[in-house]
């Protein structure tokens, strides 16, 4: 199995000849524009965690270039249809659903969005970056207005004898049961001033073999930031030394091998 990061929460998972993609987004930051549109457009299955612009905005362009189908909640589906995407290329999904593909079984879980806290909001708004990236402000505000969040979905993916949990935002629901002892946790690392503590708590719940960080980059400044992950990595090394933490490079494929003594429980 190979996992690749495209920036923001965009990742692909490849098993054998099949690749599935999650949350593809083209960065507003010229320094971080790495999404290869043709590569993504060639994928037949594109999954969306929620309807915010940094997860959904570029899906119509991607679908226009290739044969893919997009899987998302009904709010995101409505947004896509408003943007001209034909209904036949959208599969509306909800928590509790299961999707069977050739090399993947994907269970849909109920998630939530991280709640932006006051210290982060103040730090973001009262910052010289607001001036530096003023050209982006209108585009970001328009994005938040025109791309409603909808239901946040978490994907519980089973493939190649391994189990991956992909999240687009670090929020969970008290009325959902999340798997533990998984192989890879795809963890979004942005949205709160105490993101390290929140992430560590969730890792302790899930007990993954590896944590694959994403969404830590500065892809829609001035609202986003490049998040320093070294503190989290240090805490993880101290508290969970057996859990591997990967801060990926753009477009680099990371290979994961199944463990013979680790079984998938559906």
Structure-token match 């670090």, residue found: 170
CA distance 127 to 47: 34
Structure-token match 């495209």, residue found: 6
The answer on pLDDT for 54 being more than 90 is yes
Structure-token match 């753009």, residue found: 250
The answer on pLDDT for 141 being more than 60 is yes
Averaged pLDDT, 50-54: 98
CA distance 262 to 258: 8
CA distance 103 to 101: 6
CA distance 24 to 26: 7
CA distance 192 to 118: 9
pTM of the model: 0.95
Confidence band, pLDDT 50/70/90 cuts, at residue 266: very low
Averaged pLDDT, 113-121: 95
* CB contact at 8 A, 23 and 57: no
Is residue 252 packed enough to be buried (19+ CB in 10 Å), middle (13-18) or exposed (0-12)? exposed
CA distance 102 to 91: 17
* Res 258: pLDDT: 87
Task: Report angle CA 155, 160, 161 to the nearest 5 degrees.
Answer: 90
Alpha-carbon Rg for the chain in angstroms: 18
Best CA proximity match to 56, nearest among 65, 66, 64, 47: 47
Q: What is the pLDDT of residues 182-193, one digit of tens each?
A: 999 999 999 999
The answer on pLDDT for 24 being more than 50 is yes
Element (H, E) at 137: helix 134-146
Best CA proximity match to 105, nearest among 46, 162, 37, 167: 162
β 184-188/210-214 pair status: parallel
Q: What is the pLDDT of residues 72-96, one digit of tens each?
A: 999 999 999 999 999 999 999 999 9
* CB contact at 8 A, 152 and 55: no
The CATH number of the structural domain formed by 2-255 is 3.60.15.10
Averaged pLDDT, 106-132: 95
């Amino acid at each position: 199995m190979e996992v690749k990061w495209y920036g923001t929460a965009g990742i692909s998972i490849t098993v054998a000849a099949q690749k599935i993609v999650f949350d593809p987004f083209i960065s507003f930051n010229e320094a971080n524009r790495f999404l290869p549109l043709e590569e993504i457009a060639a994928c037949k299955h594109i999954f969306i965690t929620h309807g915010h612009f940094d997860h959904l905005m570029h899906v119509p362009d991607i679908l226009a270039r290739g044969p893919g189908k997009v899987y998302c909640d009904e709010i995101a589906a409505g947004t896509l249809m408003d943007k001209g995407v034909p209904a036949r290329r959208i599969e509306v999904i909800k928590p509790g659903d299961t999707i069977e593909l050739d090399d993947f079984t994907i269970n849909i879980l109920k998630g939530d969005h991280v709640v932006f806290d006051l210290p982060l909001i103040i730090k973001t708004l009262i910052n010289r970056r607001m001036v530096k990236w003023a050209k982006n402000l209108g585009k970001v505000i328009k994005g938040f207005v025109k791309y409603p969040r909808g239901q946040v979905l978490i994907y519980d993916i089973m493939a190649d004898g391994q189990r991956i949990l992909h999240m687009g935002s670090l929020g969970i629901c008290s009325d959902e049961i999340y798997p533990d002892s998984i192989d890879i946790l795809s963890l979004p690392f942005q949205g709160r001033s105490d993101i390290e503590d929140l992430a560590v708590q969730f890792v302790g719940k899930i007990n993954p073999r590896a944590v694959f960080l994403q969404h830590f980059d500065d892809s829609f400044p001035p609202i986003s930031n490049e998040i320093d992950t070294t503190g989290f990595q240090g805490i993880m090394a101290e508290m969970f030394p057996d859990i591997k933490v990967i801060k990926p490079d753009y477009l680099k494929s990371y290979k994961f091998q199944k463990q013979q003594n680790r079984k998938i429980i559906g």
